[in-house]
Structure 1
Amino acid sequence: MNRIFIRLFPPSRSCAFASSLATMKDIENGRELFEYTSGRWIYNEPRRLAERRLAFNVDELLKAAAKSVNRPTSDIKSFHKIAEGGFNRVFDISMKDGTSMLARLPYLSTLPQRLAVASEVATLAFVCAHGIPTPQVLGYSVGDNAVGAEYIFMEKLPGKCIGDTWFDLSEQERFKVLLQIVKLEAKLFTIELPASGSIYYTRDLSPGTPKIDIPGSDGELCIGPYAALRWWFGERGDLDIDRGPHKDPRLVLQTPAERELAWIRAYGRPRFPFERAYRETFDYKKQDPKEHVNSLVDYIRLAPHLVPTSSKLNLPVLRHPDLQPNNIFISEDLSITGLIDWQHSLVLPTFLAAGIPNLFQNYDDKESMSFVPPQLPDDFESMDEDERAEAQEQFRRRHVHFFYLGFTQRINEPHWCALEQETGLLKRRIFNDASSPWEGLNTRLQMDIVRVSQNWSKIAPADLDSTISACPIMVTEQEVQRRTVLDESLCEVDSDMERINRVLGIASDGWTLNELFESAKERAREIREEGLAAVSDDPWLKEMTEQHWPFDDCNEDE
């Protein structure tokens, strides 16, 4: 399908997304409270909406909210939705005296149930005690309750989310925010933790759940099972497997792959790659999970050799799971007032926890990887409007990447030590790809294995006599070439799809603003017609293109 896309779509500037306002009718019939209303999906919308549907007892929620601050329910003046995303819905509860609080309710589809809320509550308390500004938790409930949904009540942070203004900040303003971010991360890297896993109040874990007490908490806090979604996605939550906590970094590396092996053996079956745009690369054939099993077995053989010899690189560290502008609150003078959304937080060995946060990194850019101070092109002033916009965006990405690294080098020595490891990025990449749920795609992990084998002399620790053991994995040159061709094709598809999504004004899952839905849907229909016309001389390719068109409704499980 990339043959079609590459001819159809020119580069385009991205659009901004924002929430929409609900009508009084929506509020009266409960749609505003229980249904997702902040946007639309141009394909598979019924499934996305069902995932985000959450009915609950409003009266009981308000009773619980008032009780959490020792107030009568009659003190509540208003209750309305202010935000919703992929995992939670957030409501504002305002009192007659002008004070207010937030109620955060996870959808029923948000996993792991009980543990996600329990871990976030404990993590918020833990990091706050170590000087990280976060909302104070006023009350919470996991499991069954009168509300009919799990919830967290928390204080409202002062300031505003920086997400709406991040792209408009000047260089100096970005300096100020990035410096504060790195200083806060430096605090996290100094906290001593006993194992990898997720943080919980001991009282919230059942007696039989593996746990390790956090020193200095008097048994109140502990490290328990990993709360990351990938451990519980699909039927993975039903598996009887080791989910941590782990003191040994070798187990941290191996057990996610062993989890995925257990899932494939119990539930795996041939399927198409989840991303439909990838399917042409594989000749529209379902992929056999046995091939992924082979890659996971290869990874497990490599995993013990990925553990650094330096003990400080193996120290467990907690980081924010999604440190990006929408989760950063600032005051008028750009001082950070709080970090929100600690759901699915993990404690991992330093060499795996390290890395520039996704929204700040620019790893795909050679100039950023060389740690060179960014500059605008010499011919910037003579460029046309679109070229200048593209050059400015490239400069911004390089700027953020460079100064995040620079501040980390100066302020956060443990993190910098991990970042400057030559093979650190490759180790984190293969760990993440081996940990990801299998959805019909094996190429990423296969390429990681190739790169590890090619860089074996830099990865494998030397023995006392300075000899390096042989790589336990052998990949033939012919197989290397096959994997490389596949990987390059998928990278082209990714680039094409990014351009298409910008043209349509949608996110990668088809989401768009309510007011842009009809135009996005119509443009998608036009693009489909153009795409089918481009392959009209090949009946089989036309049929496959039509069946697997990435912007039509589909069965996501086949």
Structure 2
Amino acid sequence: MASRYMQSTSQALVMPLLSAVRNDGTEEDIFEEDLHRYTRHRWVYNELRRLPERYLKFDLQQLLKAAVAAISSQGARYCIKVLKCKEGLNNKAYLLTMDNGAEVFAKLPNPFATREFLHDVLNIPTPRIIAWSADQNNPVRAEYILEEKALGKPLGRLWQDWDKCPMKDRITIIEQIVEIERKLTSTKFVKSGCIYFREDIPDSDALETNPPLCSSILERFTIGPLVEKELWRGKKVSMDINRGPYEGPQEFVKAMAENEKKFIKAYAPPPPAMVPPQSSDDTHSPTLHPDLHLDNVFVDPESKQITRVIDWQSAAILPLFYQCRVPTMFRHQGPVSSGMTIWPKRSENYHSLEQDEKEMIDNLIGSECLHKYYLAITHNKNPGHQAALQLQDDVRTQPTFIVQNVERSLLDSSPCLVIFNEPEMALYAHEEENRGYVREILTLFRNNWRLPPDGSIESARFDEIQNELTRMRDAFVGAADNEEDRLLAEKLWPCQDATDI
């Protein structure tokens, strides 16, 4: 027995081949330190703050030993290859290949209770878990999940190929996604928060659902605080704020507002107000996938059936109006015509256009049709979700509508309740002009280099973009007529390090 243990231990300590997936899907050799570092993106500002936030130290050999032990019954003795997959912003994933060809997917860190509830209770096609630890005080020195490799292929690899196929292939996926969302939204929870195992939260109550599910299953779970990053970042880490669980939608909205009030009082200027819904309909708290994009859905290329949905790590039980959205992969990037009976059409001069113009129009029409088809199927099969989507739109747009049209409801003879003097008006005009400059710069960044507001870009493009930004900044500041304008230009330049609060 002792010799067998020593043999398996020594085999586990063999250093496997280390590699990483490039953005183009090819692989490259890496060093062990690259497994811990965040390498998918770099930041053109605040990088010295962003990279340490995403650095994860763990014991590689102990992780490999745990993986070998988890599938030793399949004949695995040691790991021969560690492939670092594309990283999420807050977690890392590795594909571990064993000496017998078996493959294990490792994620660090990754909440487990929600995944087990979705898989075992709601029958959502998530990858099967083979081993896990929710306590970072383990030999690996980090929370981890070991799971089966997801069956099928990422939908992102297939979606564009289906451009040349009938629209029915994409429609099949939409219908399956809506069915998954129907299962999720049909399970109503009494409280809002994140799902935990009861053993991890002392003196906690068993999970309650409506309609009630099997009590023996629910006894294993409870609802605890939210792990949403916005509640744990910057100065909020040490603040005494309400992270849940919450008794209902109103308590949740009130807690979010009270948290912000505490934060504003201590550190920050006022952000935009948060507007709660007035109707209690469709405000129950289900759990939905927080980031449903093409690479998080795995599909059988032949049957077009969804085999696995991955990356549930930030999923939470929240009021439906707060988390509902059209999935990214179906969302049209542009205005969508209202009404279920109005569908986009080609223009009258379509046949006289150049081929590339026709293709652009066809792509736009196809994109909007997919968006509207998702809404139509959701309306028919998951009306609660559709109502929440409509409510979300109302909450977002109605305050703006009211402000834009308020003067129409005022009597002409009534004086304005807020009065600005001439210096204040001049200051406002000057500030608006400055904001216009910044908007133009940000629009240029987005259109030319696909640079998002947080400044994150693919690592391979960092030097190119950084050189362009330096050139543009020098030109922007150099165009100032005097020292005062130069200092203002330096202050207005959007890509510069700032202090997180």
Task: Report if the CA contact (8 A) 2:108-2:144 is conserved.
Answer: yes
Equivalent position amino acid for 2:279 in 1: P
Partner of 1:526: 471
Quick check: 1:36 aligned with 2:7? no
CA distance in 2, matches of 1:83, 1:381: 42
Unaligned runs of 5+ in 1: 1-16, 107-116, 270-288, 430-446, 457-474
Q: TM-score normalised to the size of structure 1?
A: 0.71
Tell me how far 1:501 sits from its aligned partner.
Answer: 2.7
Q: CA RMSD in A?
A: 3.6
* Partner deviation per Cα, 1:205-263 (whole Å, 9 max, x = no partner): 244x6875455224101222222222222232333333222233211221111111122
Tell me how far 1:73 sits from its aligned partner.
Answer: 7.5
Q: TM-score normalised to the size of structure 2?
A: 0.78
Partner of 1:123: 114
Secondary structure class of the residue paired with 1:83: coil
Partner of 1:509: 454
Alignment partner of 1:18 out of 20, 23, 27: 23
Task: Report if the CA contact (8 A) 2:196-2:222 is conserved.
Answer: yes
Task: Report if the CA contact (8 A) 1:22-1:37 is conserved.
Answer: no
Secondary structure class of the residue paired with 1:47: helix
Tell me how far 1:32 sits from its aligned partner.
Answer: 2.5
Alignment partner of 1:374 out of 311, 322, 344: 344
**Structure 2 CA distance for partners of 1:371 and 1:167, relative to 1, 3 Å:** farther
* Partner deviation per Cα, 1:283-321 (whole Å, 9 max, x = no partner): xxxxxx2x44xx65xx5xx64xx23143xx133221111
Matches within 5 A, 1:151-170: 151-170=144-163
Partner of 1:355: 325
Matches within 5 A, 1:159-198: 159-170=152-163, 171-198=167-194
Alignment partner of 1:426 out of 371, 382, 394: 394
Tell me how far 1:163 sits from its aligned partner.
Answer: 2.1
Tell me how far 1:505 sits from its aligned partner.
Answer: 4.7
Quick check: 1:100 aligned with 2:103? yes
CA distance in 2, matches of 1:78, 1:94: 5
Task: Report if the CA contact (8 A) 2:133-2:145 is conserved.
Answer: yes
Tell me how far 1:128 sits from its aligned partner.
Answer: 1.5
**Structure 2 CA distance for partners of 1:536 and 1:383, relative to 1, 3 Å:** farther
CA distance in 2, matches of 1:152, 1:102: 8
Secondary structure class of the residue paired with 1:316: coil
**Structure 2 CA distance for partners of 1:537 and 1:381, relative to 1, 3 Å:** farther
**Structure 2 CA distance for partners of 1:134 and 1:74, relative to 1, 3 Å:** same
CA distance in 2, matches of 1:338, 1:455: 48
Quick check: 1:307 aligned with 2:307? no
CA distance in 2, matches of 1:175, 1:398: 13
Matches within 5 A, 1:291-370: 291-292=270-271, 296=273, 303=276, 306-310=277-281, 313-333=282-302, 334-362=304-332, 365=335, 367=337
Paired residue total: 452
Task: Report if the CA contact (8 A) 1:92-1:100 is conserved.
Answer: yes
Bigger Rg, which one: 2
**Structure 2 CA distance for partners of 1:135 and 1:557, relative to 1, 3 Å:** same
Alignment partner of 1:79 out of 62, 82, 97: 82
Alignment partner of 1:554 out of 491, 497, 501: 497
Equivalent position amino acid for 2:116 in 1: A
Question: Runs (4+) of structure 1 moved beyond 4 Å?
Answer: 19-23, 70-73, 209-215, 368-371, 380-390, 447-456, 475-479, 484-496
Partner of 2:94: 91
Quick check: 1:409 aligned with 2:354? no
Task: Report if the CA contact (8 A) 2:438-2:494 is conserved.
Answer: no
**Structure 2 CA distance for partners of 1:140 and 1:197, relative to 1, 3 Å:** same
Secondary structure class of the residue paired with 2:84: strand
RCO comparison, higher one (Cα < 8 Å, 6+): 1
Task: Report if the CA contact (8 A) 2:480-2:486 is conserved.
Answer: yes
Partner of 1:233: 233
Tell me how far 1:488 sits from its aligned partner.
Answer: 12
**Structure 2 CA distance for partners of 1:237 and 1:32, relative to 1, 3 Å:** closer
